[in-house]
A and B are shown apart, each in its own frame.
Chain A
Amino acid sequence: MRSKDTSPSNELSMRVMRLLSLASEHGDQHLAEVERDLVQMDVLLDEAIKKLCASFMAIHRVADLQQEVLDGLLADCPAASGHAARFAALRGELDRHIGTAVTGLQFQDMTSQLIGRMALHLAGMRDVFGTLDVNGSVPPESGTEALLVALGSVSDRVALRFSELEGVVRSTVNQRHMESGDIELF
């Protein structure tokens, strides 16, 4: 019967493999949770913006109808004409708020792009964690050399995954000014 190799180098190999395996398992588990939360966040944000857009359109339709009624009243009732300037000023104010709301409703698009970007990074990181586990490829007690070969292979795979990720992920959303963006005509 082969005796158990308790040399320090073998002990180190076992510990490194165990550490990589734990990092792989727990890393993937936690990132999967974050991924699920991000998906749910995107769903909630999308639902919120759909409801806000629908309300915005309905409010706008009602405001237009109100304006039609007011225009009719002003035309039919000369006594009310003294209020015409006030009504026009209120309509102008309403239009400015509508413009601001249209700008505000676009922030979901940018947020959603960022969430998509984060999801791609997370998926990439989960792949990386998946490559860390060398338990299956290095038999226990096979010695430091086998472990070194396996670690070299892990390093190559990790480098490859990161490089693949670079090519897939969109550029970030850098907006700092919360007003409307720049316009440039060529």
Chain B
Amino acid sequence: MSKTILAVDDSGSLRQMLSFSLKAAGYGVIEAVDGQDALSKAKQHQVDLVLTDQNMPGMDGLSLIKALRGMKNYQKVPILMLTTESGDDMKARGRAAGANGWLVKPFDPARLTEVVKKLIG
């Protein structure tokens, strides 16, 4: 059974590219438009990895990570940030919130799937 990834981004084109790349690599993808939507979908479906943007209306990526890490079934699930933010301060905040890695946009599909594979097989 294929692993499922929750892809969170307020940009439709970004979600489309994420979904396209991850599905081509054999993963199932659930899309969410912001942190709140992601949280609700994470409660409905247990996913194997979360890939989230930082700057989104409503709940941002860091708040989403904190909320997920507060849920028993998401304490060990890998969470990656995929964002335009590349400053060390933001990375440190992501790490402190419980992110497992930081990817700066734009992503290369081959490198992205390589990282995902390393984390969830």
Contact, CB under 8 Å: A181 / B13: no
CB of A107 closer than 8 Å to a CB of B: yes
CB of A112 closer than 8 Å to a CB of B: yes
Contact, CB under 8 Å: B16 / A53: yes
Q: Which residue of A lies closest to B91 (CB)?
A: A184
Neighbour of A170 across the interface among B20, B55, B91, B99, CB < 8 A: B55
CA distance A181 to B103 in the complex (A): 7
Contact, CB under 8 Å: A106 / B99: no
Contact, CB under 8 Å: B91 / A171: no
Interface size of B as a range: 20 to 34
Contact, CB under 8 Å: A109 / B16: no
CA distance A180 to B108 in the complex (A): 5
Contact, CB under 8 Å: B110 / A99: yes
Chain B residues, Cβ within 8 Å of A50 = 12-13
Contact mask A97-108 → B, CB, 8 Å, 1/0?
011001111111
Contact, CB under 8 Å: B101 / A107: no
Contact mask A104-120 → B, CB, 8 Å, 1/0?
11111110110000000
Chain B residues, Cβ within 8 Å of A57 = 16, 20
Contacts A180-B106, A184-B101; is A112 near B111 (CB within 8 Å)? no
CB distance from A183 to the nearest CB of B (A): 5
CB within 8 Å of B: which residues of A?
49-50, 53, 57, 60, 98-99, 102-110, 112-113, 170-171, 173-175, 179-186
CB within 8 Å of A: which residues of B?
9, 11-14, 16-17, 20-21, 55, 84-87, 90-91, 95, 99-111, 115, 118-119
20 A–B contacts from the bound complex (CB under 8 Å): A50-B13, A53-B16, A57-B16, A102-B20, A102-B109, A103-B106, A103-B108, A104-B106, A105-B17, A106-B13, A106-B105, A106-B107, A109-B13, A171-B90, A175-B104, A181-B86, A182-B103, A183-B111, A183-B115, A185-B118
